[in-house]
Amino acid sequence: MGTVFVNDVEIECGPQDNLILAARKAGVEIPHYCWHPDLSVVASCRMCLVEVGEKKPDGTVVMQPRLIPGCQTLAKPGTVIRTDSDKVKASQAQTLEYLLLNHPLDCSICDQAGECYLQDYTFKFGNAHSRLQEPKVQREDKYHIGEQIALFTDRCVMCTRCVRFTREISGTSELHVISRGSVEEIEVFPDQPCNNKLAGNVVDLCPVGALCSKDFLYKKRVWWLKSQDSVCNLCSTGCSVHVDQNENKLYRLRPRENDQAQGSFMCDEGRFGWKYIHRDARLLAPRLGRLSHAPASANEHAHAANGNGNGHAPTALSAALPVDMPTDLATLDPWPAALEATRTAIVQAMGKDGHKFVAIFSPMMTIEEAYMLAKFLRSGSVKPTLALGPVPVIGEDDRYPKNHRGEAPALEATKFTIAAEKCPNRRGVEMVLKHFQGELISFDKVLERVERGDVTGAYVVGGYTYPETGYDQQAMTALSKLPTLIVQDLLRSPLTEAATILLASSSFAEREGTFINQAGLAQLIRAAIRPLGECRADGRLLFELAGRKGVFNSAAIRREMATEIFSLSALGSGELGPLGTFITKQPQPATV
């Protein structure tokens, strides 16, 4: 939209680019604290001051005598930006000196150390020394800011990003500034802590270590964390996230900026909703044979798989298994035997026409997993019924910013949506099922058939991570009576106890594959950690169950699907890119 000159480099910039964005395109960093692309501009921190001028059509350059905040100034054709002059450098160093005047310099105990903009900018643009001789203003830490948020008051640089977030994005306006000058502080009103469903974002927004997540506080120094790009699986908004782990343990989820998906933020349900991954209720090994009674504790699962104590009920399946089938699955790699048993059980239960066998797909699956399972089950001459499992919907879409009465905004004014549909991939799984079967069979219909006794065997995929969603009591009771019940799930439940074959699967952080969100955006989830214990990533599990040769690779499966399933042909290249690919040409608005 026009050529600007950044330190003598010529660069094209967009119509809405401010000087920070324009300089970024030229590879030049203009340091800034208060400016954030999704928040209003206040130009209060003065960190972004640069020299600005204009190149006249005759080639002469006229510079303005004063320094200009880069965040507040739009780049126009012919704008000249200087970030490396002595004047700018002196201003940056002075601004940092002021910001650090009363800063406690407690990097050694600060959680932000390692990803702190005060550290980075001081290193790049500041002085190594403070000239302050007077005592620093010392202030109390505030642990009452929010259930998940602590404020280390004396580290704050008063950029007010957090305040603007609660006013402009969540609309809940809990945070505000009290006092003035060097005693200015961020505060909440008495007994009105910042507990809105987007509150965790202020921790990411805070450029320094002032706002910290209580959940993550002191758990890990950030430089140990290894980060993987993935997608949150707790609702069908499908927020892009960074999954931060160390030594195969998840520590936190952070939003990953993606304007095609959710923007720059994520909700707290997603942010803290991954704890089930390391919960005791995780199933850690496959199991053959139905448990006669529920184990007393989750830890007994390993033992249950070992076959001690909870004996196998003589079900149709285990009676039919070859006698030399190793039941002591925990000692060797339990999977070849488990998968072999699964294949045998499926063939036996399908019988002649497959009518009495149903496969229940979960909207928590990736499209690759759904495709491999559907293709495997429908590849023979007998065709079992494929159905979609329960689609968890809780309440209504929760849209932000709220107004002062807590009401949702108009659709067009929505900046963030927490979807009511608490699963990441209903759309994708439905497409796969429609392709293989022509029609979509809902869970209610299947359940009714199961209750009528019209079904003798089922392959049930779980993976529901909200405890209150997924298969309800009625469904579990009905399914538990089936003579053949193959369950692929990751958390212990009455259903997994009743399974005649249990295939211990993995959470989204251990898998690779594609989720299609409610707007039709296909995004890649990547394995951040190895599957825990003996459980197995669903993709690999189904790949091997289907007897495919080689190693599971989601891109290869996507290419295969795209040639076969017309509605998914947009995924033909196999690559989705870091921000995902829309499956329809016309991207629909991210809100429904």
Partner 1 sequence: MSETTETTKRTKNVRWVEPPKIGFMEALYLPAIAQGISTTVKHLLAGKSMTRQYPEVEPEIPPNYRGVHRLNRDEKGRVKCVACFLCQTACPANCITIEATGTSKDDPNWNDRDKYPASFVIDELRCIYCGMCEEACPVDAIELTSIYDLTGMTREQMIFDKEKLLSVYDETVGSGNDPVRTKRGVLSPASEKAPESAGAPLPPGRGQLGG
Q: Decide: helix, strand or coil at residue 23.
A: helix
Of the pair 103, 402, the CB lying nearest partner 1 is at 103
Of the pair 161, 256, the CB lying nearest ligand FES is at 161
> Binding ligand SF4 by CB under 6 A: which of 71, 81, 157, 250?
157
β-pair type (226-231, 211-213):
unpaired
State yes or no: residue 129 binds partner 1 (CB under 8 A).
yes
Of the pair 117, 552, the CB lying nearest ligand FES is at 117
Q: 290 near 313, Cβ under 8 Å?
A: yes
User: What DSSP line would sit under 75-110, residue for residue?
Assistant: --TTEEEESSSHHHHHHHHHHHHHHTTT----GGG-
> Binding ligand FES by CB under 6 A: which of 5, 11, 13, 32?
32
x/- mask, partner 1, residues 192-221, rule CB under 8 A, reads -------------------------xxx-x
Binding region for ligand FES (CB under 6 A) out of 43-51, 167-175, 354-362, 573-581: 43-51
State yes or no: residue 33 binds ligand FES (CB under 6 A).
yes
Of the pair 244, 497, the CB lying nearest partner 1 is at 244
CB of 225 to partner 1, least distance (A): 12
**218: partner contacted, choices ligand SF4, partner 1, ligand FES, none (Cβ within 5-8 A by kind):** partner 1
CA separation (Å) from 76 to 1, 26, 59, 71, 379? Answer: 8, 15, 16, 14, 61
State yes or no: residue 183 binds partner 1 (CB under 8 A).
no
**158: partner contacted, choices ligand FES, partner 1, ligand SF4, none (Cβ within 5-8 A by kind):** ligand SF4
Q: Decide: helix, strand or coil at residue 31.
A: coil
State yes or no: residue 208 binds ligand SF4 (CB under 6 A).
yes
**321: partner contacted, choices ligand SF4, partner 1, ligand FES, none (Cβ within 5-8 A by kind):** none
State yes or no: residue 134 binds partner 1 (CB under 8 A).
yes
Of the pair 160, 240, the CB lying nearest ligand SF4 is at 160
CA separation (Å) from 317 to 286, 482, 483? Answer: 15, 11, 7
DSSP H helices, 408-468, are 426-437, 443-452
- Stated as kind and residue range, the H or E segment containing 166 is helix 161-168
Of the pair 13, 47, the CB lying nearest ligand FES is at 47
User: Which residue bears the tokens 């009518």?
Assistant: 355
State yes or no: residue 123 binds partner 1 (CB under 8 A).
no
Please give the structure tokens belonging to residue 408: 């949702």
User: Which residue bears the tokens 């505000």?
Assistant: 176
CA separation (Å) from 359 to 172, 457, 458, 585? Answer: 44, 9, 6, 31
Contacts of 7 (CB under 8 A, 6+ apart): 26, 28, 81, 82, 83, 84
Q: Which of 230, 285, 287 is nearest to 255 (CA)?
A: 230
Span 45-104, contacts to ligand FES by CB under 6 A = 45-48, 69, 71
List strand residue ranges (DSSP E) for 83-203, in order. Answer: 149-151, 175-178, 185-188
State yes or no: residue 133 binds partner 1 (CB under 8 A).
yes
Q: 499 near 487, Cβ under 8 Å?
A: yes
Of the pair 95, 260, the CB lying nearest ligand FES is at 95
x/- mask, partner 1, residues 72-111, rule CB under 8 A, reads --------------------------------xxxxxx--
Please give the structure tokens belonging to residue 207: 């450029």
Q: Which of 205, 262, 272 is nearest to 418 (CA)?
A: 262
State yes or no: residue 135 binds partner 1 (CB under 8 A).
yes
Of the pair 155, 426, the CB lying nearest ligand FES is at 155
State yes or no: residue 205 binds ligand FES (CB under 6 A).
no
State yes or no: residue 207 binds ligand FES (CB under 6 A).
no
Chain residues that interact with ligand SF4, rule: CB under 6 A:
156-162, 186, 205-206, 208, 210-211
Chain residues that interact with ligand FES, rule: CB under 6 A:
32-35, 43-48, 69, 71
